[in-house]
Amino acid sequence: MSGEVVHTPYGRTYYVNVEVDEEVMRDVVKDVQEKFRKYYSTSLLNFIIDIEELRKPCEIKVKAKL
């Protein structure tokens, strides 16, 4: 084996599409942004992926309740 890549399989990318109260979503996003600023050397914006960038997206819809 020469270590040459001969095939790159593209499987599904599962993602969760959560339906949640807007106020709850704002609070969660604010908290995550604060954690990123405090603990990571990169920006949260570097982790955003548009649906168009996925080859085989597979959506999982969830309705969140508190």
pTM listed for this prediction = 0.66
Query: How high is the pLDDT of residue 1?
Result: 62
- Residue 24 reports pLDDT greater than 70: yes
* Residue 58 binned pLDDT confidence (cut-offs 50, 70, 90): very high
Torsion angle defined by CA atoms of residues 38, 41, 43 and 44, in that order, rounded to the nearest 10 degrees: -60
Do 12 and 58 contact (CB within 8 A), yes or no? yes
Name the least confident of 3-7, 21-25, 59-63: 3-7
Burial class (CB in 10 A: 0-12, 13-18, 19+), 19: exposed
Mean pLDDT of the chain: 92
Burial class (CB in 10 A: 0-12, 13-18, 19+), 13: middle
